Amino acid sequence: MRKLKRHIGLNNNFLVFILLLFMFSSCEDYLDVDCSQCYQYEPTKGDLLIDVTINKENMEVPVIIYKGKPEDGVIEYADTARGKYFDIEVPLGQYYSVCAKYKVGDKTVTAIDGDKIRVRQIDAECDTTCYYITGGRIDVQLKYTTISD
């Protein structure tokens, strides 16, 4: 009888742990759904939103967008950013990396960041089923304005 009680107690603790784990992980993507930003039909493309630093030394910033990681070498797009925000429409469901090159004194600094942009189907939060684009926010801002040797 004692073994049975111990076995039931372990099962209850395990069940509570699984329920808590499920509660905190399942709703995370949908906590801040803005139904006005939903699409009625499933989109195939979305905007990568890229933050860059524009300053006196870097009035224009060369930007290279890679499909996947930079070391994979698959360039999706290359351009020059002339404002603090840069966006480009890309296919969804893919990881993208961005490299931005800055001048800091007589040195060149490369900032790299990446994110996966995807579409989620939302059923419960809005009046009708809709599609919501998540991810795709990339920060390649210059973090330091001086470099010491």
pLDDT tens sequence across 52-61: 999 999 999 9
Q: What is the pLDDT of residues 76-120, one digit of tens each?
A: 999 999 999 999 999 999 999 999 999 999 999 999 999 999 999
The pLDDT, as a whole number, for residue 30 is: 46
The answer to whether 113 and 83 have CB atoms below 8 angstroms apart is no
The CA radius of gyration of the chain, in Å to the nearest whole number, is 22
- 67 compared with 144, residue with greater pLDDT: 67
Which band of pLDDT confidence, cut at 50, 70 and 90, is reported for residue 143? confident
What is the mean predicted confidence (pLDDT) over 139-148?
A: 82
For residue range 10-33, list pLDDT tens digits in order.
Answer: 566 666 666 555 555 444 444 567
How far does Cα 48 stand from its chain's mean position? 9
Instruction: Tell which residue, 78, 87, 81, 86, has the closest CA to residue 55.
Output: 81
**Is 32-139 a domain of CATH 1.10.1760?**
no
What was the pLDDT predicted at 27? 42
pLDDT in tens, 28-48: 444 567 888 889 899 999 999
Q: What is d(CA 50, CA 45) in angstroms, rounded to the nearest whole number?
A: 16
